[in-house]
Amino acid sequence: MGEQPGSAGTGEQPDVGEQPGPAGPPLARTSLDRAAHHRRDDDWLAQAWKTGLVLIIDIGKGGRALVARRPDGTPTLVLVGADEAPEGERLFLGVDPAGVPIFAVDAPLPAADEAEARASTLRDIGDRLDPRDAGIFTTAAALGNWHASHRFSPRNGQPTTVIEAGWSRVDADGQAMWPRTDPAMIVLVHDGVSGPEGRCLLGHNAAWPEVGGIRRFSCLAGYVEPGESAEAAVVREVREEVGVRVRSLRYEGSQSWPYPGSLMLGYTAVADREQPISVDPEEIDEARWFTRGDITRMIAGDYVEPESGVRMSLPMRSSIAFYLVEGWLGDFPR
């Protein structure tokens, strides 16, 4: 409840736009070359700023950016030239497939005609962006959140400043720090049964409010603890949150979830649905098994629990939770 780095020293990287590909987790798609070898090249960065494009992202307002619509209705990020960019720390994100340098600046969004562009978050539209924009927005949100929480050194409390084009911060003593990502596991537990009789186990987080009378259910998730493998965390978290033992773990993919800075490691696992469910009330206030028919209706927005009359839904499509549930609905493999 990732992304592949470039080859060291060359700026080259695998074709991450093809890994894991269109069917992969939505925020794992990217065609952005991070070009890490340029991060300490001040002359190159100065020229790149003049010729590149800038994403303005308001981290303080949930990481919002302006999004426009193409003629076919698909969303596209609004990027501006250096002459239109606001003052602020310049974060070099990489180079797009056309060779254009891409930067981000954390600042209030400029006024815009809502008919032309609207402020949106990665949660809102991440799944509908093309790989270029998905990579840009995800990286900008993750990097911006890290900078916002590291204005001061955790070692000595001194103010820190940006170095390495936004990929490091340093205090007055020369002590540097770099962005970190917290590994977290998320798992779709299912009964291993194919077809309409199969069921998956979803939970409702105790901290989630019902919005508009809709109760949201999702996969089980939690942070990987120190000294623990991701697989061990899957077994532990499911046991702690709903009292169920799982087997046959299968890794399905990962994606960044910059709220504020997690790497979600996605798994599926099988469990006997005859096991009693015993929820940890501090984490989960309800967990239940859903059929494929239930899930289909939840996606369509018309699933109402027969006994309580409460409408139930799934997480947003940009989440890896939705990706895992959708994969199970298709009965694996993808």
In terms of pLDDT, which residue wins out, 331 or 156?
156
Rounded to two decimals, the pTM is 0.89
pLDDT in tens, 186-240: 999 999 999 999 999 999 999 998 888 899 999 999 999 999 999 999 999 999 9
Residue 21 has pLDDT above 70, yes or no: no
Give the residue among 283, 297, 258 at the shortest CA–CA distance from 123.
Answer: 258
pLDDT in tens, 98-121: 999 999 999 999 998 877 899 999
Return the pLDDT at 212. Answer: 84
Question: 46 falls in which pLDDT band (50, 70, 90)?
Answer: very high
pLDDT in tens, 115-171: 789 999 999 999 999 999 999 999 999 999 999 999 999 999 999 999 999 999 999
How far is CA 198 from each of CA 195, 245, 292, rounded to the nearest angstrom? 6, 18, 6
296 near 200, Cβ under 8 Å?
A: no
Average pLDDT, the chain: 91
Residue 11 has pLDDT above 50, yes or no: no
How far is CA 93 from each of CA 15, 31, 39, 201, 293, rounded to the nearest angstrom? 17, 12, 10, 38, 42
Instruction: Work out the average pLDDT over 170-187.
Output: 96
Q: Which fold has domain 182-329?
A: Nucleoside Triphosphate Pyrophosphohydrolase (3.90.79)
Residue 334 has pLDDT above 70, yes or no: no
Q: Where are the domains of the chain?
A: 16-149, 182-329
Residue 16 has pLDDT above 60, yes or no: no
326: Cα within 13 Å, side-chain hemisphere: 17
147 near 91, Cβ under 8 Å?
A: yes
pLDDT in tens, 265-308: 999 999 999 999 999 999 999 999 999 999 999 999 999 988 88
Give the containing element (helix H, strand E) for 232. Answer: helix 230-242
Return the pLDDT at 23. Answer: 60
Instruction: Work out the average pLDDT over 175-191.
Output: 96
Question: 24 falls in which pLDDT band (50, 70, 90)?
Answer: confident
Amino acid at 14: P
Helices and strands: H and E segment counts in the chain: 6, 18
Residue 97 has pLDDT above 80, yes or no: yes
Residues 6+ apart with CB under 8 A from 196: 291, 292, 293
Residues 6+ apart with CB under 8 A from 312: 214, 215, 216, 217, 298, 303, 304, 305
pLDDT in tens, 68-78: 999 999 999 99
| Angle between the N-to-C axes of helices 320-329 and 292-300, in degrees from 0 to 180, rounded to the nearest 10 | 130
Return the pLDDT at 20. Answer: 37
Residue 43 has pLDDT above 60, yes or no: yes
Question: 332 falls in which pLDDT band (50, 70, 90)?
Answer: low
